[in-house]
Amino acid sequence: MKFKLFIFLICLAHLSFAQNFNDVKRYKVNFAIATGLNQKLIATRSFTANNQKYLLLVNPETLDTKVDLANNYSTSSLQFQNVLAIFKNTAYVKSIEAAAAKDLQLQNAGIDHAIPNEKGITLTIDLCPSHKALDRVIFQSVFDEFKKIEQPAPLAISVSGKWMLKHQDDLNWLKSLVEKKELNITWVNHTYNHEVNKLPLAENFLLAPGTNLDVEVLENEKLMLKNGLTPSVFFRFPGLVSDKSIVEKIEAYGLIPIGSDAWLAKGQQPNAGSIVLIHGNGNEEIGVKDFIQLLKTKQADVKNKQWLLFDLRAGLEKEFE
């Protein structure tokens, strides 16, 4: 009997862990207070799959997200403006507001620095569309350096739809690192198409004429769910390019834009608490090299726990608690 219960619990843990939603339908932005299982969460999306209704939920204190059956919760619908008002003292809304406060520049809007004066960085790795293989050396190096210090080591991956479609093996390899508890990955929406053209920044990336934001944001989330990835509350602008109006639109999806104050390939040096950006899609050799070099120079500090990797969610929770 006990054994059966044990097996059941293992199956249950696996279900909530990595469920692949193959036939997501009626995927909608749908804000609601969701109360249930002793928690008060914010639902940001609703959808059906296998004839059941699901919610994508965010914990406004910890910024953690999860997908759960809708009938585990009682919900009351909200406009996004009401979410901002009702939850104004939470890390979630404070993060949204901090990101909006920096929306005037064409590049690097959003939160670009996670925890002031902490010993370490938050690592973000962008997977823009690419014909080249994943730079697995980044992930292997992080694991090797941090395995006795922080396991699983936290990092964030900004994933584009077109990358996921072309790199199933690499994606499965990343998921296997999570399953083995080697890495703890926060999955960040990096748009479905990640369009890039030859026009000036003001008409490039998401600012390109004809961009359909619902496709870029929601279709990418659906593809993440199909691949067993839980979308986080974070969003990274392709090219880090945005303007005030598009930042507002992205935030109205309930997403927090994440910039970077240390794009290594551009020669920006990380400070304490930096959000570091490298590309892991095979197209940024120099950024990867710089990062491996950075790990080498910090080896002693890592061993002495004087240089850590921070989880994006925990970092913002701490900054805005």
Q: Which residues are at the interface with Zn ion (CB under 5 A)?
A: 126, 128, 238
Q: Is 175 exposed, middle or buried (0-12, 13-18, 19+ CB in 10 A)?
A: middle
When the beta carbons of 126 and 290 are compared against Zn ion, the nearer one is 126
Closest approach, Cβ 56 to Zn ion, in A, equals: 23
With the CA atoms of 73, 75, 78 and 80 taken in that order, what torsion angle do they form, in degrees rounded to the nearest 10?
10
3-state secondary structure (DSSP) of residue 115: coil
Q: Which amino acid is at 236?
A: R
Cβ nearer to Zn ion, comparing 128 with 264 = 128
Quote the distance between the C-alpha of residue 24 and its chain's center.
Answer: 20
Write the CB contacts of 15 (distance below 8 Å, at least 6 apart in sequence).
none
Of the two residues 183 and 206, which places its CB atom closer to Zn ion in the complex?
206
CB 68 within 8 A of CB 57: yes
Nearest distance in Å: CB 243, Zn ion: 17
Q: Cβ 301 to Zn ion, closest distance in Å?
A: 29
* Contact by Cβ (8 Å): 306, 119: yes
Contact 34, 43 (CB under 8 A): yes
CA atoms within 13 A on the CB side of 60: 24
152 or 287: CB nearest Zn ion: 287
* Long-range contacts formed by 28-34: CB under 8 A, 24+ apart: 29/218, 29/253, 29/254, 30/55, 30/77, 31/77, 31/78, 31/79, 31/80, 31/82, 31/83, 31/254, 32/75, 32/76, 32/77, 32/78, 33/75, 33/76, 33/78, 33/86, 34/73, 34/74, 34/75
What is the number of the residue whose Cβ is closest to Zn ion? 128
Q: How far is the CB of 111 from Zn ion (least distance, A)?
A: 17
Q: How far is the CB of 219 from Zn ion (least distance, A)?
A: 16
- Measured from the CB atom, the residue of 256 and 277 that comes closer to Zn ion is 277
Write the burial class of residue 270 (CB in 10 Å: 0-12 exposed, 13-18 middle, 19+ buried): buried
Q: How far is the CB of 65 from Zn ion (least distance, A)?
A: 21
Q: Residue 126 or residue 319: which is nearer to Zn ion going by CB?
A: 126
Q: How far is the CB of 153 from Zn ion (least distance, A)?
A: 22
Which C-beta is closer to Zn ion: that of 270 or that of 287? 287
| C-beta closer to Zn ion: residue 238 or 273 | 238
Find the shortest distance in angstroms from Cβ 221 to Zn ion.
Answer: 17
Cβ proximity of 47 and 236 under 8 Å = no
